[in-house]
Structure 1
């Protein structure tokens, strides 16, 4: 069994002393790790959030690990948080979030940040008509153009440091089918990025047209606002959570 590694910052630990801390679990996207939230965390803490993160095992270079394993880790992390919690998933992170969230009684709301919202029975590749990578690949390498696709509006040094930390992603993460769609049962918001060059438009258009999220907010810029404009993103997350 894969065990969740859940982390919280020192400031977030101090927030536990508050009478009613706001808990948020951040679920990273493909090829990334919990480290990707480092720029965003202090801005959320200024809004009074107690911030938790997880490392999804599908980025541990093990081809046998897929979306269901990621969802198990998210579920374990939710079970370790004392009190109500908001869950935010970025990009692929929205998929294991959807799989796990409704099984945790303390989840109050979901926030999909430039993330895929799937129906039960769909895998991430389903709306695309199938995998964009060869069928025999067991690990999907970091895309060659990911800097231009995901970090074009991120400060140059930070974009380079981020790219250097990315790791291959298990292909199973993209092909495991959703058995639960938690956005159907929990208040859910979609934060879409106006110049997102990374996530196919089909996901955002379908979610909005089919009224999947309870609330839709838009941000300027690209796919990674947690790096490009973390203070603004924290403001929007706090506003969206209150609205839901």
Structure 2
């Protein structure tokens, strides 16, 4: 089995928290927790990215203690991941699939918190991490791509579970066939629903229906609320002019 000595992959999501100032204590040995950032912390409305450090074969989180101390001095939070295939007890019964699950369990909370994450893997760690990051890049986490980072993080924190049944059920009424005025606002940079799919959906509406286009991602009401309000006003005005 071949693997690179160093495997680095950036998994992008909006950053959400400002870095705290203060003297940087060294990270606790063996823990995955990050101490407060030090004087080198980056200033600005958004936090710097968080590094998720995945060790190689035979190694555990403390192997990254020296590197994490250096990252802290530069203002970067970090988390040292643990591989379940490494350990004195039941590690022999674990495989790559279990490492994938473990890495995801440490990566997903960071992404769900709206953080920008850079994943750094050493040696064997690049193999399970390559699978663990599937579906977790910016293109695949699409709702708030152009939303200001702090606002995006707040929106992420308010996301709730949705029933699978709701996506499989069929609608019982099509208003565009029953005389309703219809309209569609295209989101040109939507990474959830491609523009071609949007146009296909809009094509079901009657000829002359209101359309507008915004250069936004999936949630223009967050990234450009003023333009959305202007567009809605245009839609109302157009409908009002119809006999």
TM range (shorter): 0.3 to 0.5
Report the structure number with the largest CA radius of gyration: 2
TM-score (normalised: structure 2) = 0.38
Return the structure number with greater strand share. 1
